[in-house]
Amino acid sequence: MQGNFRQIRPFLAIFAVVLAFGLFGPGTAGAREPGPIQEPVVAGTWYPGNPSELKALVESALDKAAGSEVDGKIAAVVCPHAGFMYSGGVAAYSYRALRGKKFDTVMVIGVSHRYPFRGVAIYDCAGFRTPLGVMPVDGAMVSDLMKHEPRIKNLPEAFQNEHSLEMQLPFLQTVLPKAKLVPLIIGDHDFSTCEWLADAVAGCIRGKRVLMVASSDLSHYHAYDTAVEMDGRLLEKLRAMDPAAFYECLKSGGCEACGRGPILTAMLVAKQLGANSCKILHYENSGDVTGEKNSPRGVVGYAAAAFFKASADRDEAETPREKAGSATGRLSDQERAELREIARKSLEAACRGTEAPPVHAGSPRLKEPGAAFVTLYKKGQLRGCIGHVVARMPLADTVAEMAEAAAIHDPRFRPVRAEELGDIRFEISVLTPLKKINSPEEIEVGKHGLVIARGGSMGLLLPQVATEQGWDKTTFLEHTCLKAGLPRDAWKEKGTEIYVFSAEVF
């Protein structure tokens, strides 16, 4: 997808030649031959060709990417590569997470869209140019990789008309201006290719300050709801850092990613280097960005994510597969009001059998992935309650969907009728991430909600339930077990997992 930006001005080409000579001109005796410079392919179309405009756009996107903090040592990030007007705002979340980090080299792994080839391509050139200048290639590491793994071939043709790598460079030049580049493009995305590539990469970068960037969009050209469902499956596999499950999901068609090879390779390398966590920093699709959710062409999914080794002082029980909620920090009064209006409109449309209105979230916070429940009451009595404990989609969309589901899909109640709306009161609960606990003593009634899991059974009760019912800690645990279909005292048994979370209720 392309934006409509101005072409590079002629004088920039002259400036770039001077810059390239300054960077890569004759040096000390025995210096490596510099090779050519890869010129930009989509500057002026997919992103601005004017350096000042491009710099301002990148910095603005980074400033808006709130909630990107990662508490640990980042090994790799996942970034989309569509035109800046479509996916630049999502990619910014991964790059904002890199602010203040120190990396000497960035290995960008792209995917070939136009030049078919087998195996893995590298480009042993001097650097890659964008309107922001030339990002130099780490020639020593390029040589090491090709010596370490002969199946990595120097194939300039694979890079000549390819955007998947180029779209990452303006962000890298802004956030990591001193870093060098190792450019890779994957032609074969099978598991075995990604495994041998990951082994080669891990062997070359272990002990060095190297970042991997996996360039990939997600599902392509499906209806909005289908895209969200498919992308949700993929994000769950990323959170779990399970390469085999990720690959099987793609192979079965349950999810999609044009850069499946880059993502899989980055995940494999990150795990070899000790990464034990993945954080989904942001998710949107082109329908969210443009507002055209019902486009006959369908939508394209975009995600920002980070693979990292959690800090030593971070609770090890808080693993990616257990992460379930929105970003930390309370919602503002305006954000709460926005969510309540979104829920009200969705609820009314569901009960009246009319088409659900488009979700328009003004606050960037509400566009971040978030988990939430919507609870309905009629004259003080429960009338429906459904939610997501996993942050699968933007918080605003989660609230809209759960309001509809609570009204017409809660199997415990008949659907809410339009004539009941005057008596219905609703409550929104925005969840924090789940945290696995080692002892029931850690539970604080009135603050914590509970999830109890054993085998394939799981039960959840929101924090306000214990308060409303006047339960003590033991009773709360017992009722959560019953909710899971387990014996009342299953919480005492070995093998039963207990998680706590908090909820912002309004």
CA 391 to chain centre: 10
Residue 419 and residue 456 in one domain: no
> What local confidence, expressed as pLDDT, does residue 61 receive?
93
Residue 404 and residue 467 in one domain: no
Measured distance CA(486)–CA(7) in Å, rounded: 64
Q: Which two tokens stand for residue 109?
A: 């792994």
Location of structure tokens 């970042």: 211
How far is CA 54 from each of CA 11, 253, 494, rounded to the nearest angstrom?
Answer: 16, 37, 57
Say which CATH number the domain at 464 has: 3.30.1490.150
Residue 278 and residue 337 in one domain: no
> What local confidence, expressed as pLDDT, does residue 183 receive?
98
Alpha helices, DSSP H only, in 354-443? 395-408
Last residue of a domain, one of 386, 406, 431: 431
User: Which residues, listed in sequence order, are joined to residue 447 by a DSSP beta bridge?
Assistant: none
**pTM summary value:** 0.59
pLDDT, averaged in runs of 10, over the chain (506 residues): 38 31 34 75 96 96 85 94 94 93 96 91 96 96 93 95 95 96 93 93 93 96 91 89 91 92 96 91 90 90 92 39 45 90 93 88 84 89 85 86 90 89 92 88 90 83 86 92 88 91 88
Last residue of a domain, one of 301, 322, 343: 322
Contacting residues for 83 by C-beta, under 8 A, at least 6 apart:
1, 2, 3, 42, 45, 46, 47
- Contact between 91 and 213 under an 8 Å Cβ cutoff? The reply is no
Say which CATH number the domain at 295 has: 3.40.830.10
Range of the domain at 469: 435-505
CA 236 to chain centre: 10
Contacting residues for 53 by C-beta, under 8 A, at least 6 apart:
5, 6
Measured distance CA(288)–CA(302) in Å, rounded: 10
The answer as to whether 136 is a domain residue is: yes
The answer as to whether 2 is a domain residue is: no
Say which CATH number the domain at 409 has: 3.30.700.20
The answer as to whether 345 is a domain residue is: yes
Structural domain total, the chain: 3
User: Which residues, listed in sequence order, are joined to residue 220 by a DSSP beta bridge?
Assistant: 300
> What local confidence, expressed as pLDDT, does residue 236 receive?
87
Measured distance CA(8)–CA(43) in Å, rounded: 7
Residue 407 and residue 456 in one domain: no
User: Which of 132, 206, 111, 208 has its CA nearest to residue 176?
Assistant: 132
> What local confidence, expressed as pLDDT, does residue 216 receive?
96
The answer as to whether 5 is a domain residue is: no
> What local confidence, expressed as pLDDT, does residue 299 receive?
94
Helix-, strand-, coil-residue percentages of the chain, each rounded to 5? 40, 25, 40
Last residue of a domain, one of 380, 408, 431: 431
The answer as to whether 3 is a domain residue is: no
Residue 111 and residue 216 in one domain: yes
> What local confidence, expressed as pLDDT, does residue 355 receive?
86
> What local confidence, expressed as pLDDT, does residue 33 receive?
55
